[in-house]
Structure 1
Amino acid sequence: MLSRLSTRLRTSLAAGLAALLLLGGGAWWLRGHLYDAQLAAAESEARTQAREISTGYKFGQQLADKGQLPYLVLGSDGQVVIMSGPLTTQHLAGPLPPAVPNLAPDDWQSVQRITVGPAGGAAANRYSGRTFTAMGSWSPLLRKDGYQVKPQVGPFTVYVLATPFAAEASLRTIDPVLQAGVPAAALLVALMSWLATSRALRPVEAIRAELAEIGEHRLDRRVPVPPSGDEITRMARTTNATLDRLERSAAQQQRFVADASHELRSPIAALRTNLEVSLAHPERTDWPAATQEALTSVERLQQLTEDLLFLARGTRPETAGRPATVDLSTVLRELADQYRPAFGPRLALRVDAPDEVLVRGSRIRLHRLVRNLLDNARRHAATEVAMSVRQTARGCVLEVRDDGPGVPPEDRERIFEPFTRLDEARSRDAGGSGLGLAIAADVATRHGGTLRVAHAPRGARFVLELPSA
């Protein structure tokens, strides 16, 4: 249920609930602390008042109301001598409190709990509270209700009642404030959280709206970057960087499709022209030659289709298969045995490979990489193609060299792009589709290596670096 609410509403509810719990706990603590402080003050006042009354009795002062708190005095026989303040004899509920022990010293004190109020009435325990006692040793003259009474000699017990009335009055004063203030403060926190979250999410809404406007054909647009420099700013920059990559990828895809269409159109057009001319003039057609031309066009279409399919499959990790240990020396020797008959007497093929150079990867793809480099070298070489592989401290290095015209420095990065041909290699009759080096660079990258064109005194020198197994 809560997951369906908006982010700002969930945040506001969470902040309001947290504030309500925190403020409610604080209010409860403040209420208890205030009540305990008031009770402590009343108990301290009761103790002081009990000592003053006891001292007065001890030195023969006349009985009189003394102090603000209600009190009563018991004689040595345990009977009430005087009861002051709002207390009267009918207010006592239950048995009388005990008198002071006969053997108690003059400074004897104790804490008792007595209950006052009409016995058995509804107001019983009305004045219930903590009481403090003090003891006076004798009194020569006592007065009660304005009349002189028989002097009493002996200990007197003084009880002063520490009532909770002041504490309860303070709670009655503060309770309405807390009951109204705590919910109001929690509501204010929730409202401030709503406003702060709305303001914080405003750039996010702007980013979302801009992303909704960006379609397949409007990848040049970018989301606004707020100047705050916080997480939302970093998210906007990351989003724009992702859009940059998408735009470049879309442009590369469009260029790739256009180049592929152009490459496919040429052999298809040649094949169609050849067939149309042959059908229009069958009596003058050299059918074996026409068939050979058609077969050449079909082979070119087949090669181009295989290259396109290889690049398309290369983008899916599941097509690579499980990596295995591959011996590059064996790969070079196998390809040399396959290509020597095709080189003929015009070209020489030299192979320099140790007994074993191991790497981790796909044997099929690494085989395709070296074959593409060998095909490229064979098309441009004048008299010789050389292949070598060696182990190094960081991995292995494979080189394919030829003695052809070479690659200009300004074109050494561009030739690894799909359908790229240099001016000297524009002719499509040589069999190149413009995808061989792109496929080789893609395979090298997917194996954690690099493929580059290095400097050579003569011809082209392709260097492949791969990590060791």
Structure 2
Amino acid sequence: MLSRLSTRLRTSLAAGLAALLLLGGGAWWLRDHMYDAQLQAAESEAKSQAREISNNFKYGQQLKDKAQLPYLVLGNDGQLVTMGGPLTTQHLVGPMPTLVPHLAPDDWQTVQRITIGPVGTAAANRYSGRTFVAMGAWSPLLEKDGYQPRAGTNPYTVYVLATPFAAEASLRTIDPVLRTGVPVAALLVALTAWVATRRALRPVDAIRAELAEIGEHRLDRRVPVPPSGDEITRMARTTNATLDRLERSAAQQQRFVADASHELRSPIAALRTNLEVSLAHPERTDWPAATQEALTSVERLQQLTEDLLFLARGTHPAAAGQLATVDLSAVLRELADQYRPALRTRLVLRVDTPEAVLVRGSRIRLHRLVRNLLDNAKRHAATEVVMSARQTAYGCVVEVRDDGPGVPPEDRERIFEPFTRLDEARSRDAGGSGLGLAIAADVATRHGGSLRVAHAPRGARFVLELPSA
């Protein structure tokens, strides 16, 4: 149920509930603290008055009930001798308080709870049925008025009641304030959280509105970045970075589709022209030659289609379940054996590699990678193509070098883009689709490696780096 509420409302409710709990706990503590403080003050006053009454009894002085706390005086037989203060006619409920023990010190005192029974006057009814904290002090018996204490008897025992009336009055004063103030304060906190959350989420609403306006053909727009430097700012920057990548990806996709359409148009146009001419003049057509030209165009279409599908559905080798230990030395030697019979007589293919250079990946894809590099070098080499592989402390390195015109430094990154052909010597691409190096770079990246064009005194030098098995 709460998950259906807005973030702003959930935050406000949580803040209000937390404030209610904290303020309620604080109010409860304050209430108890004030009550205990008032009781302690009453107990201190009762102790003082108990000592005063005890001294009065000790010296036979008359007690003044005016402005005094309620008190009890017990005789040595445990019976009530007198009650003073507001208590004069009522009786006690429950057991009698404890008498002063034998041989008690002069400063003996005790604390007990005394329950007062019902009284006859309205003024004293406030003591009826209540429990009071009583402070006891002792007073030695005086030999006067013809009273002689017996040996071993107790002196008088004086109890003064520490009444809770002041503490209860303080609670009656503070309780209405707390009952009203705590909910109002919690409500104010919730409203403050609502306003603060609304202001904090205002940039998010702006980002959402801008994202809603960005469509397939408006990827050049960016969301506003608030100047606060907080999490929302970082989210906006990340969103803009994602939009940058989407824009580049969309542009690259559009360019790829346009280039693919252009590349497919040429063999299709050649095939159609060849067939139309042959059908228009069947008697003058060299049908074996026409068929061979059509087959060449079909083969070029097939190669382009395979390359496009390879780039479109390329996945990480681990995701495709194709991981295995591959010996790159064996791959290089196998390709050399396949290509040597078909090479021009002036072109020499050399392989410089140790017995084994092991990597982890897909043998089919790595074979395709090296074959594309070899096809590229073969087309542009003047007299020699050299392939080498070696194991290093950081991984495996494969190099394919040719002695052709080379790659200008400013084009060493661009040639790995699909359908890229360079000017001058490398523009005379005999049968290349413009996808070979793009596929090679894609395979290297998906194997956790890299493919680059390195500096060479002559020709082109392609360096493939892969992690070791």
Q: TM-score if structure 2 supplies the norm length?
A: 0.92
Q: Deviations over 1:379-427 (max 9, x none)?
A: 1122222212222222222221222222222222211111011123334
| SS of 2:176 mapped into structure 1 | helix
The aligned amino acid for 2:134 is T
The SS at the match of 1:89 is coil
Q: Which structure 2 residues correspond to residues 51-90 of structure 1 after superposition, within 5 A? A: 51-65=51-65, 67-90=67-90
1:128 pairs with 2:131: yes
What are the Cα deviations for residues 167-221 of structure 1, in whole angstroms up to 9, with x where unaligned? 1111111111111111111111111111111111111111111111111111000
SS at match of 1:130: strand
Structure 1 segment 16-55 matched on structure 2, within 5 A: 16-55=16-55
Alpha-carbon distance in 1 for matches of 2:459, 2:395: 26
Residue equivalent to 1:426: 427
Q: Decide whether the 8 Å contact of 1:357 with 1:391 is kept in 2.
A: yes
Identity %, equivalent residues:
82
Q: Is this contact kept in 1: 2:89–2:119, CA < 8 A?
A: no
- Whether the 8 Å CA contact 2:316–2:446 is kept in 1: the answer is no
Contact 1:94 1:119 in 2 (8 A): no
Distance in 1 (CA, whole Å) between partners of 2:415 and 2:447 is 20
Residues 314 and 320, structure 1, Cα contact 8 Å, conserved in 2: no
User: Following superposition of structure 1 onto structure 2, how do residues 137-152 of structure 1 map, counting pairs within 5 Å?
Assistant: 137-139=140-142, 150=145, 152=147
Shift of 1:353: 2.0
1:449 aligns with 2:449: yes
Equivalent position of 2:263 in the other structure: 263
Structure 2 distance, partners of 1:464, 1:96, is 103
Query: Bigger shift: 345-354 or 253-262?
Result: 345-354
Residues 102/279 of structure 1: CA separation in 2 closer, same or farther (3 Å cut): closer
Query: 1:175 is matched with which residue?
Result: 175
User: Cα distance 1:167–1:117, how it changes in 2: closer, same or farther (>3 A)?
Assistant: same
Deviation of 1:319 after TM superposition, in Å, equals 6.7
Query: Secondary structure at the residue paired with 1:90?
Result: coil
SS in 1 for 2:227: coil
Secondary structure at 2:90's aligned position in 1? helix
* 1:244 aligned residue: 244
- 1:221-370 equivalent positions in 2, closer than 5 A: 221-315=221-315, 320-370=320-370
Query: How much does 1:277 deviate?
Result: 0.8
Query: Match of 2:152?
Result: none
Amino acid at match of 2:133: R
The residue type paired with residue 459 of structure 1 is: G
State the 1:7 CA deviation.
Answer: 0.7
1:465 is matched with 465
**Secondary structure of the corresponding residue to residue 386 of structure 1:** strand
Q: State the Cα distance separating 1:363 from its structure 2 match.
A: 0.5
Deviations 1:338-369 (A, max 9, x none): 11111042322222222111111111111001
Amino acid at match of 1:132: M
Give RMSD over aligned pairs. Answer: 2.3
> Structure 1 pair 78/292, CA: closer, same or farther in 2 (3 Å)?
closer
The corresponding residue for 1:409 is 409
Structure 2 segments unaligned to the other structure (5+ residues): 150-154
SS in 2 for 1:452: strand
Letter in 2 for 1:223: V
State how 1:162-201 maps to structure 2 within 5 Å: 162-201=162-201
Bigger Cα displacement from structure 2, 55-64 vs 415-424: 55-64
- After superposition, the Cα gap between the structure-2 partners of 1:84 and 1:447, relative to the gap in structure 1 and judged at 3 Å, is same
Which has the larger displacement, 36-45 or 340-349? 340-349
CA distance in 1, matches of 2:51, 2:147: 20
Which residue of 2 is the match for residue 159 of structure 1? Answer: 159
Give the superposition deviation at 1:270: 0.6
Per-residue Cα deviation, 1:8-35 (whole angstroms, up to 9, x for no partner): 1111111111111111111111111111
1:195 and 1:160 map into 2 onto residues whose CA distance is 57
Equivalenced residue count is 460
- The one-letter code matched in structure 1 to 2:467 is P
Say which is worse superposed, 242-251 or 80-89, in terms of deviation: 80-89
**Structure-2 change in CA distance of 1:381 and 1:43 (3 Å):** same
* Cα gap change, 1:367 to 1:107, in 2 (>3 Å): closer
Separation of aligned partners in 2, 1:71 and 1:382 = 125
Question: Displacement of 1:263 after TM fit?
Answer: 0.2
1:85 to 1:13, Cα distance in 2 relative to 1, 3 A:
same
Report the CA distance between 1:109 and its aligned residue: 2.8
Q: Once structures 1 and 2 are overlaid, which stretch shifts more, 221-230 or 153-162?
A: 153-162
Residues in 2 aligned to 1:390 and 1:74: alpha-carbon distance in whole angstroms: 111
Tell me the amino acid that sits aligned with residue 209 of structure 2.
Answer: A
Give the distance between the partners of 1:105 and 1:413, measured in 2 at CA: 104
Cα offset for 1:467? Answer: 2.1
- Cα 1:69–1:291 change in 2 (3 A) is same
Amino acid at match of 1:233: T
CA distance in 1 between counterparts of 2:228 and 2:349 reads: 64
Q: Which runs of 4+ in 1 moved over 6 A?
A: 119-124
Quote the offset at 1:107 in angstroms.
4.2
- Whether the 8 Å CA contact 1:93–1:124 is kept in 2: the answer is no
TM-score, normalised by the number of residues in structure 1: 0.92
Aligned to 1:422, the other structure's residue is in SS state coil
The residue matched to 1:377 in structure 2 has which SS?
Answer: helix
1:22-80 residue CA offsets vs partner (Å, 9 max, x unmatched): 11111111111111111111111111101111112212222432652112333445554
Query: What SS does structure 1 have at the residue aligned with 2:116?
Result: coil
Q: 1-side partners of 2:191 and 2:468: how far apart?
A: 62
Query: Bigger CA drift: 379-388 or 211-220?
Result: 379-388
Partner SS for 2:349: strand
CA contact (8 A) 1:114 1:128 kept: yes
State the match for 2:4 in structure 1.
4
